[in-house]
Amino acid sequence: MSQDGATHLQTQHALLAAWGEFAQRLGLVQRLEAVDLHQKQYQHTPQTKVLEFLVAALAGLEHLKDISRAAHPLDQDRTLAHAWGQTAWADYSGVSRSLKSLTMREAEQIVQVLEASSQLFITSAINLAMLAEKRLVYDGDLTGLAVSKGSTTYPGVAFGHMDDQIRLGYQAAVVSLHSPVEGRIWLSVDHHPGNLVSAVAAEGMILAAEKRTGVRPRRRTELLEQRLQTVKQAGQTLRQKQLDRMQKVHQAQESLEEAGRAFAEWQARVEDLAARYHRQQRAERPTGQLANARKKLASLQKRAERRQKANAKAEQVLAWTDGLLAEQSAEEQRLQQRLAQFEQDNHSNSQPVPAVFRLDAGFGTYENLALLIEMGYEVYTKLQNWRVLQCLRKQVPPDAHWSEVDHQVYMWAWAQHPLENFCYPIDVGQERFTDEDHLTYCALLHFGDTPVTQDLPEWFGFYAGRQTIEAGIKESKQVFFLHRLKVRTHPAIYLQENFVLFAANFIRWANSWLETDRNDHRLPVEHLGIKELVRVAAHTSAEMVWNSDIKFLKFSDYSVFAGKVLILPNFAYQLPLPLAKSFVFCDASTV
């Protein structure tokens, strides 16, 4: 306690300490401490060590040992521990042991705490997006988390495509929401083996986003009903073909049996004649009775072989038809179940919202497109099928006027175009990229009410906006080192993935909290990038000062932010846009 009645403490992790104060105001620390973890406690609780792991993620530590072995170790900063509501931090080895002992259920409970602490911010972003843009915009992608190809200690790894290579590791399926304020809010991350491909990950990503936001569009059940009716009609056609081909198999089998009987009869006749000739010591002449019988037998043998082949072919065609019919029946049943589920979804969805999903070409399979359309989304993606792309190129008129949509990028589009073997008409934009050496073609796909073919530059630019999730993935790896797996058990890896994405959101929300102070010497956190906030401001020395009225950080004279201060507000967060169109103030007791 100083003479002015204020408390002064030194920290080497200024912004981390500010974020800890925000976490306490938000109730995050209290919630994490309340999670029941069945581990022995020695000097530090397992909850403290889990919280320390989160702080390490916020600090952008590349390795777990950096908690204790960095130039300014986290576990030696008692002011930082105090800011996060702890008396002290554990050594990194203790953090590692606690993470290794986590069960999947415990890890899921911890993630539920993160989700509960994020929900008000996500709801606020949804409301702001709906008022400002009249729709929600989601982006989804896969990111590879590679490990050493010779590693045997990571559970459930598999070889797959990662960074344009075949590598051993995991795939993380991530979804983000576009926010007019934060720009990008991470919604979900799902952990998968490395051999997961984009084509089978779309549905899980969509459902995860809907679960996280609590809102969804109206399902297009009318389109699904039409598709189901088409499938049923195709099934009836196949069943009739099956009956016809069963009849052909029956006829082929009868013909084969008749040929077999004739062959057996003549074979017996030839044997009888040959025995008679032998008894009578008769010579076999080329035009004699025995020779003619042998010729007849050879002809019947060829007939039997032809009918054997015909029977095999008829059975093969029938088996192929049976397989098609089985697939058709499974498809019909699947669509029927989907229709029932979507009708129930619509019945329970009193406030459907317009929503857009942007995905890259890896997700652009016909089944994914149909699913997204039927789930009610406006879809932006790229065509995956190279053969269809070649067919589209041939359909462009020779005198077509290509519209320039970007530097050396041109487009030609069809509205409501029927793609080969696809169930719904869809907007197709043929893209042509030019440079000095060669031309490159690809195709944009769109389904929805937006007349994208009337403004091709806008279509191109809006789809290019999905680079926000690619930038987010880059940030998660370059700033928070998501790809550096610090743990080697499934629950702990799952926790690391969720901590990293939560950290990216949390910092942006904390910035809004810190922006409420407008004194002349404040650190302008809103003008600092995430990389600078994590790599520099979170590892800068400062003095934490507080008394009964105020708490603030004063950056030391030896830091890059010398002379700057950050006043820590005494409320948790001011929502930029609540449902009632008025500001709502929340503290730890109400979040």
Could you report the per-residue pLDDT of 66-113, keeping only the tens digit for each? 999 999 999 999 999 999 999 999 999 999 999 999 999 999 999 999
Q: Is the pLDDT of residue 573 over 70?
A: no
H helix or E strand, kind and range, residue 100: helix 92-101
**pLDDT averaged over the chain?**
90
The residue whose two tokens read 């999730």 is 469
Q: Is the pLDDT of residue 454 over 80?
A: yes
pLDDT in tens, 514-536: 877 667 788 888 889 999 999 99
Which pLDDT score, from 0 to 100, does residue 515 have?
Answer: 79
Q: Which pair of tokens denotes residue 381?
A: 């993606």
| More confident call, 239 vs 576 | 239
Q: Is the pLDDT of residue 3 over 70?
A: no
**CA–CA distance from 398 to each of 393, 394, 402, 412, 434 (Å)?**
10, 9, 11, 12, 17
pLDDT in tens, 276-325: 888 988 888 888 898 999 999 999 999 999 999 999 999 999 999 999 99
Q: Is the pLDDT of residue 583 over 70?
A: no
Which pLDDT score, from 0 to 100, does residue 587 have?
Answer: 37
Average pLDDT (121-130) is 92
* Type of residue numbered 270: V
Which pLDDT score, from 0 to 100, does residue 2 have?
Answer: 52
| More confident call, 3 vs 143 | 143
Which pLDDT score, from 0 to 100, does residue 436 have?
Answer: 66
Q: Which pair of tokens denotes residue 353?
A: 């919202």
Q: Is the pLDDT of residue 589 over 60?
A: no
| CA separation for the pair 399, 401 (Å, rounded) | 6
**Contact of 191 with 351, CB cutoff 8 Å:** no
pLDDT in tens, 8-58: 899 999 999 999 999 999 999 999 999 999 888 888 999 999 999 999 999
